[in-house]
Amino acid sequence: MSFRFVHTADLHLDAPLKAIAFRDAALAREVAGASRAAFSRIVDLCIGERAAFLLIAGDLWDGDYSSTKTPRFLKQELLRLHRAGIRCYIIRGNHDAMARQTGELEAPDNTLVFGGRPSTQELEIDGDRIAIHGLSFREVHAAESLLPRYPPPKQGAFNIGMLHTSLNGSPGHDPYAPCSLAELEAHGYDYWALGHIHRRFEHAGRATIVMPGIPQGRDIGEAGPMSVTLVTVTDDGSVTTEPRQVAPLRFDRMAIDCGPVEDWPDLLKRLETEINRIGRAPRFEDHLVLRPVLQGASPLAWRVRRDLDRLTEEARSFAADAGVWIDRLECQLADGQAAAIEAQLPADLVRMVRQDLPADPGLAAALASAAQDLARDLPPELRDMLGADEAELAALCQRLLAEGSPAVLARLASDRTG
């Protein structure tokens, strides 16, 4: 037995890159088709590596759609696989559950979309048997484990299970079809092709269990290189996995130590140097969207926080020459003169600003109310930038309050000495 296949999930075809559209219309136009380009490169990978089949473990789509544009694109890519003799197996996840889909085109002969009942597809490659077991989400939510519904492994075959699941939970992901690694291993399959969590994860034990992550990140929360998985099964049944990048666009953070910087021109020079360095570094992706994170203790901390908009525009001018795009600047600077500033103020005032106010439930409620008012004034597609739910909004308010305390103290000290 020796064959190869490609495993991916969470393509979210045509998912809008909302943060980019909000901050830079030119970049938004250039990368509007990033998720499609990633899928085309997955097909190229399958053909180039002579894969026997492609597995898509849920969330191929990003919810409802009304245009035939995306289904037509998908069918054309699946037909490319068909012409190369490569099969494709798809399950639906929470974003493309069976209840949400309309307007699909008929899948070509090489493509099978698993239904809402568990089923098994058997095939032979050079006389060796492979059994692929799959189950699609019927509805958007799947609060209970789906694992007990999967059939037992086929004897004498290499068994693959396709499952869209949050496993035991992951930050930023709601629970869907939860299960544990131990439960997956105990089921007896050789390989589990998972989807749902957008960060890559691999487990090699009695079974090889892979969460390939999202192949094309959608915002700075999905920063860093993304990948799909090329899987090789050798004659003795052993499994090797290899992450492969396909994304045309990468989001990334870049930490910049500003501790040694003493004045504004030096800060600009350091920012330019670091942006140029990362712009020249080799990368797979065509486009890089960067968020510089300013760190360290600096006497410029207060001014940076005050003039962050101006500094961001400076960074964007440097980035244009370096061939990268700036998402925004993030200031994590500690005030290098904090002790001297706070020494000018009454200790009770410093304690109130640094400790009492961030812990005050009344202030937290007032901030949350103001943030909710702001969210209501934003266009609907941008409201998630302040948090997807009440807990995220409250956490954002607390973080901003803590980050703003040094600036408040600096301003109070300035007013006092002025």
At 365-392, the pLDDT tens digits run 888 888 888 877 776 656 666 766 677 7
Report the chain's mean pLDDT, rounded to a whole number: 85
Q: What is the pLDDT of residue 260?
A: 83
Q: Are 228 and 7 in contact (CB under 8 A)?
A: yes
Does 355 lie in the same domain as 330? yes
Q: Could you read off the pLDDT of 4-20 as tens digits, one per residue?
A: 999 999 998 877 665 56
Indicate the number of domains in the chain.
Answer: 2
Tracing tokens 């080799």 back to the chain, one arrives at 282
Strand partners, 5: 53, 231
Among residues 244, 270, 302, which one ends one of the domains?
244
Does 336 lie in the same domain as 216? no
Among residues 229, 244, 259, which one ends one of the domains?
244
Q: Are 333 and 295 in contact (CB under 8 A)?
A: yes
* Phi-psi domain of 360 (left: phi exceeds 0; alpha: psi -120 through 50; beta: other): beta
Q: Which domain holds residue 376?
A: 249-417
- In the predicted structure, residue 101 carries a pLDDT above the cut 80: no
Distance, CA of 250 to CA of 188 (rounded, Å): 37
Phi then psi for 131, rounded to 5 degrees?
Answer: -120, 120
- pTM, two decimals, is 0.79
Does 264 lie in the same domain as 213? no
Does 292 lie in the same domain as 236? no
Percentage of the chain modeled with pLDDT above 70 = 84
CATH number of domain containing 141: 3.60.21.10
Does 271 lie in the same domain as 167? no
- Name which residue leads in pLDDT, 133 or 358: 133
Q: What is the pLDDT of residue 63?
A: 67
| Candidate from 36-40, 69-73, 125-129, 330-334 with smallest mean pLDDT | 69-73
Q: What is the pLDDT of residue 168?
A: 81
Does 257 lie in the same domain as 212? no
Does 188 lie in the same domain as 320? no
Does 117 lie in the same domain as 12? yes
Does 257 lie in the same domain as 237? no
Distance, CA of 163 to CA of 146 (rounded, Å): 8
Among residues 244, 279, 300, which one ends one of the domains?
244
Does 236 lie in the same domain as 366? no
Does 346 lie in the same domain as 332? yes
Does 96 lie in the same domain as 216? yes
